[in-house]
Structures are given as structure tokens and as C-alpha cells.
A = this chain, B = another copy of it.
Amino acid sequence: MKRAYDTEILSVGTELLLGHVTNTDARDISEMLSKIGINVKYHTVVGDNPQRVRDCVAVAKQRADIIITTGGLGPTCDDLTKQLLAESFGLKLVENEAEMKSLYDYIAPGRKITENNFLQAMLPEGCTVFHNNCGTAPGCAFEADGKTVIMLPGPPKECNAMLRESVIPYLRKLSDEQIVSHSLRIFGISESRIDDMFASEMNAMTNPTMAPYAKECDCLLQVTAKAKSEAEGEAMVRPVMEHVMDVVGENVYGVDVESIEEAVMALLKKAPLTFSLAESCTGGEVAKRFTDLAGASEFFMGGAVTYTNAVKAKLLGIDRDFIEENNAVSYPVAKAMAEGIRRELGTDVGIGITGLAGPDGDGVHEVGDVFVSLAAKEGTFVRCLHLGKVRTRSFIRRMAGNHAYDMLRRYMTGLDVIAGYDK
């Protein structure tokens, strides 16, 4: 590291001070910056008020080397961040031709273009422009008065994409230390059990380090090294990761992936097969998660969302009496759903999910009782899960989907499909 690069994130937006939205931008920026070795020292939130924004910029200039703003770049009269930051650093706003053209292309043809729209293409003179691939307002960065100023749009998707695409590469140039960090994603065992497994090792480590984090329905171990070069960093983290793999083994579903469906996609690309889904309690969410990924159509042929017995009978070719005799939430019906969708759509694998996501029970099962089934040429496998108690509908649905993808992953890698998770 050439120097400390203390960073302050200044979020501008009255909606944050009214509690209408949560400041996830500050979290995302902090998380990504910490991974490249830049220390965030302060977050500040201020409303859309010119004088208060000016005052906060003055405070930030005193205590930070890098000031990152979020929000206030849009087309409305509340959006003042660029004007105020440029003013605070004695810069003019000038029209950026490329962004002006991009705005024209985006808004035209046939739509009314307002004066305010074009304010978005006015940027501080001499700045580096960050094109917004998810919205209209560009971000930018400039150096002035010995500070680095970066301005990002407020909507979380836009902010996050710009961070990954433009800001991290821009900031990496400021540092001569490389941070190498990998996350081992783990499904089926809890963060506290991971913590127990590695507590003494983790306490003894300084560089590289290892830290467990709980996500909503799984957890991860982050292994991080600081080194002079990327190669050196990779060499430092490799033995730690291999050790974790030895201990946690088949519960590690992927490295540096965002989700278990992404890990499944990577496996499918290596060893293609087709699959289909029959969803009851998850209501389309399991299909949605896979089809969020580009290229899904190569492996996922389709599915049925069957919210009634009649629809289960109709779309999956299951005898209606059979469903009613066994109860729609049951081992035999889950099995028949996976087999039915596999047969109807002619896929290599069929997956069936039926259960109670709540809030109400059915008098037979408890909320959170879910059956997840995988049918393939080798036979049909069913997990009987109890995900309920204090859990929410959204947790139960998401967790059921994780089990479906975990079963598919284990099927594809030759592991026992039913085993492999804490009951």
C-alpha cells in the first residue's frame, strides 16, 4: 500500500433518513473495498439539502483520502450531488458528448425528453466517466485537492454494477498491495459448526486469514491473503483452502460463486444434462433462480407450477385420486411430481418440490415441512425436510430451492443424493 487511503462513503438521499430504504450501497461498497485492501473509515448519510451536503463534504475532506458518494445523480431537481461536489472542489460541470448521445439513444425515439434528463450528461471537467449499464445516470471519478472523489448512482443495482465494472479497477491502481481472497461456499452445515471446526486455527492466523460468514440459507468461509503480487497471494491461500476442503469436503459446493444454482450451472457446462422442475410450495422460485442465469435454456427445459391438485394431475400426469389419498404434501406425491415432470418433458432429470411454506398449516404437516425429490434414470431420491419453527415463508421457499440444487449437484458429482446436510 502506498498510503492509507482512508475512505468515507457519503450517501445523499432523504429517503435514507426517512427509513424508506436501507443503505445497502454503503455495505456493498465497504465489502468490495475491503477485499482490495482499502479501509472504509466512515459512512455518512445526509438528505437532499445543498447546505448540509456541502457541510458533510467539508467534514469528509478533513478526515478521508477517498470520498465516495452515492445517490443524487438522477434527473430530478433533488439530484444535486454532482453540482455540489464539483463546486466543493472548484470544478465546472461540462457536457459529456458520449453520455449525451447515450441518453438520446436511450430515451428517444418517441418519448418526451425533458431538460432534466440531460443534466445527467453534465459531468465535472476532466473526470473519468463511468458509464451506467443498468440505468441512465453515469458515475464518475476525479482527483482534486489531494483527494479522490468517486460519484455513484443510488439505485443498488446500478451502484453495484458500476462498482464491479469500473470503480474496483480504478481503485486497484492506487494500491501496490494485492489482496487475494476466495470464498468457499458451504451448504448443509451451519456457520457455528464451521466456527467450531476451525476456531483455534482461525485465532492463530494473521496472514492469510480465514473467517466464516452466515448467509441466509448457507454459509461461507472467506480465506484472504495480503501479498506483494497476486501469484504470491494465491500461493498463500491455496494450502488453507485445500485444508478446508479436506475437513468440510463434499459440503463445499463452490469457490467464489454467488449461489448454489451458479455452482450447478458450472457443473452442467462441464457435463451437460437436461432438467425440469415441478414446483408446488416454491411457486416458480426455483425455476426463476436458475433462469436468472444467462444460458439457462441450454439445460433447463421448463417446469410446472402446480398450486392445486387439479393442476398437478393435469400438467404432471399424476392420478388425482393418488394425490388426494396421499395428501399433496407427502413423500409419494413429491416422488410422483419429479417422475411426472421428467416423463412429460422428456428430460434427463426431473425435480419435484411440495411442502408448506406457511403462514398457515394444513392440519397434517407443520409449516416448513417440505419434500424435495429428484428423478433420474438411476431412480428417484427424496429428502424429507423440516424447515419451519421460527422461520419465515421466504426462508422456507429459498431453503427448499437450495436443497433442490444441492441434490442436483450431488447427483451430478456422484455423491449420495439424499445425504449431506444437518437435520
Binding site for B on A (CB under 8 A): 11, 14-24, 26-34, 39-47, 52, 55-56, 59, 63, 74-78, 102, 105-106, 110-112, 114, 116-117, 132-135, 155, 157, 161, 181, 191-193, 195-196, 199, 202-203, 211-214, 216, 222, 276-277, 279, 282-288, 290-292, 294, 296-297, 300-308, 310-311, 314-315, 344-346, 358-360, 389-395, 397, 422-423
Contact = CB atoms under 8 A, between A and B. Distances in A.
B291 A75 contact: no
A110 B302 contact: no
Nearest to A300: B307
B284 A291 contact: yes
A12 B288 CA distance: 33
Contacts of A52: 41-42
Given A283-B290, A287-B288, 12 more contacts: A11-B43, A26-B45, A41-B47, A44-B44, A111-B422, A155-B214, A157-B395, A279-B284, A282-B291, A283-B300, A294-B358, A314-B344
Contacts of A305: 277, 284, 287, 291, 302-305
A17 B393 CA distance: 31
B34 A27 contact: no
Contact of A395 (B19, B134, B211, B346): B134
A314 B283 CA distance: 20
A105 B44 CA distance: 39
Contact of A40 (B17, B27, B78): B17
| 6 interchain residue pairs of minimum CB distance | A283-B291, A19-B31, A284-B287, A19-B30, A284-B284, A302-B311
A391 to B, nearest CB: 7
Copy total for this chain: 2
Instruction: Describe A's contact surface by its main secondary structure.
Output: mixed
A134 B392 contact: yes
A102 B301 CA distance: 43
A143 to B, nearest CB: 23
A8 to B, nearest CB: 10
A76 B192 contact: yes
Given A75-B191, A77-B195, A288 B291 contact: no
